[in-house]
Structure 1
Amino acid sequence: MAYLTRIPVGRIFGFWSRSFSSPIKNPFFSSTLSHVPSYKISTTAHYSSPSPSPPPPLSAAMNTQVFSSSSRWRPMCLYFTQGKCTQMDDPSHLEKFNHDCSKDLQVNGTDIEKKCSQNVDFLLVIDLEGKVEILEFPVLLIDAKSLSLVDFFHRFVRPTKMSEQAVNKYIEGKYGEIGVDRVWHDTAQPFKEVMQQFEAWLSQHNLWEKEKGSRLTRAAFSVRLFDISGNWDLKTKIPQQCEVSGIKLPPYFMEWINLKDVYLNFYGREARGMMSMMKQLEIPLLGCHHLGIDDSKNIARVLQRMLVDGALMQVTAKRNPGSQKVEFLFENRIQHPSRQRR
């Protein structure tokens, strides 16, 4: 695997912008899929729930994937993404569900040559789901040089401070309408266990050493943030969930990239969320909006497009380990409407 030369991300960067007077055409992706509507996933009893195990390496998943003769889009198997699919030898299941997370993240080789060098080797795309407590924790590992998907981590998260009745109502409202409430109940784990598995996954890819208790090495979080203030996932929700779960805030959540701020400074125009960025860049939505793993893939597609266009991914916010105060590094950034300059 080829790596970029590591340059400290704490340096001070200059800012620049590009403006466009008309919508941007999208010759970027190798596939020309049209808009795919939201889908309902059937999670009937032919699934079982074996003991938790880590998902197979992405290369292994690609080797076992049985591709349909058609190029139609298929939803991800949400048991597979968590290492719990027991139907990998069932052709009808493989025909119905996608087991290759990289399939929606293909980039034309000629476009890769247009990108500029990045200051990290990898970018981690994260999109949390859940307002009261975190319900879904998906992370995609993108190679900053090849723009390809290296691996992914995906877990549904079970709240620990809510009654069973409240959880059931919460999940029905969040996932019931898109048909994934059953798989959530089958696979969700407490946040503390999810974080232990996530740290093992980071270590597996040599991105973090628990013994040193340090920040990420060779990688940075690139996030699409939930609310319009732009820092919900890592500034607000992760610390809240750590407190609820009785664990210390991990050191690798001390700095991150707000993709919306980089977008604003690079293109010279504002986009307040994933859907706005995709619309402006004419990137069709794939999967179901507000299903974390699908949103993460769509955010990764925006990220890939920005990198191909020449954007430099820079850390936009840092948290002081002592005071926990967050410093925003971009002067020109997406702000809450009440805080915008007049």
Structure 2
Amino acid sequence: MYVQPQEHPILSEFCTELTGITQKQVDEGVPLNICLSQFLKWIQMIQKEKKIIFSTDSQSNSSDAKVCAFVTWTDWDLGVCLHYECKRKQLRKPDILNSWIDLKATYRAFYNRKPKGLNGALQDLGIAFEGREHSGLDDSRNTARLAWRLICDGCVLKITKSLDKNLLLFMDSLGTSEE
């Protein structure tokens, strides 16, 4: 889903060249508040179907539920961009977007190497980047491929960042939060 920019509705040439997103795509998009609302409804449907919960979920502690988390490449999208955009626009951001696994930090710690971007991390492991860099969908698919490789290589993925102070205190008590 594309978010329709409300304040600067005309995309720059740089943005289009970098991401491949067209003016038509954002014109047909939805405002951020609607996107977040639709995203939350979709996630809730997936949670029921797949019996998954997020570490921030308080509603369901079913023993058959699998705990999951969002995986990102860096903290930028959830920790900076979305966080401050919602704050600035006084939008309620779903709590499930307040903690995540930063795969760049995880990659760096697990392999003891400093990656040169998502594409560089994939290349380091002999995996070809598929699609267009900086396309949200292609980047997310490649991030998932990298996460799977880390898991196959024995890495246990853990929350690396949380904007929820209570969750951070709980993770500290378990010895699982970022140092």
Give the TM bin, normalised by the shorter chain. 0.7 to 0.9
Task: Give the C-alpha shift of residue 235 in structure 1.
Answer: 1.3
Percent identity of equivalent pairs: 25
Q: In the aligned structure 2, how far is the partner of 1:190 from the partner of 1:177?
A: 22
Residue 175 in structure 1 maps to residue 16 in structure 2: yes
1:238 corresponding residue in structure 2:
82
1:159 corresponding residue in structure 2:
5
TM-score, normalising length: structure 1: 0.42
Task: Give the C-alpha shift of residue 239 in structure 1.
Answer: 1.2
Q: In the aligned structure 2, how far is the partner of 1:179 from the partner of 1:160?
A: 19
Task: Give the C-alpha shift of residue 234 in structure 1.
Answer: 1.5
Identify the match of residue 39 of structure 2 among 198, 202, 214. 198
Alignment of 1:170-319 (within 5 A): 170=12, 172-176=13-17, 180-206=21-47, 207=52, 218-225=67-74, 231-319=75-163
Larger of the two Rg values belongs to structure: 1
Q: Deviations over 1:41-69 (max 9, x none)?
A: xxxxxxxxxxxxxxxxxxxxxxxxxxxxx
Are the equivalent residues in 2 in contact too, given 1:160–1:245 (CA < 8 A)? no
Count of residues in correspondence between the two structures:
161
SS for the counterpart of 2:130 is coil
Alignment of 1:58-137 (within 5 A): none
Q: In the aligned structure 1, how far is the partner of 2:85 from the partner of 2:159?
A: 23
Q: Deviations over 1:98-128 (max 9, x none)?
A: xxxxxxxxxxxxxxxxxxxxxxxxxxxxxxx
RMSD across aligned C-alpha pairs, in angstroms?
2.9
Residue 330 in structure 1 maps to residue 167 in structure 2: no
Task: Give the C-alpha shift of residue 250 in structure 1.
Answer: 2.2
Task: Give the C-alpha shift of residue 249 in structure 1.
Answer: 3.0
Q: Deviations over 1:171-211 (max 9, x none)?
A: x33125775415413531111000011001111012569xx
SS for the counterpart of 2:38 is helix
More helix per residue: 2
Q: In the aligned structure 2, how far is the partner of 1:249 from the partner of 1:213?
A: 16
Aligned CA distance change for structure 1 residues 269 and 180 (closer, same or farther; 3 Å): closer
Q: Which runs of 5+ in 1 are unaligned?
A: 1-154, 226-230, 332-342
Q: Which runs of 5+ in 2 are unaligned?
A: 61-65
Higher relative contact order (CA 8 A, sep 6+): 1
Q: Deviations over 1:14-53 (max 9, x none)?
A: xxxxxxxxxxxxxxxxxxxxxxxxxxxxxxxxxxxxxxxx
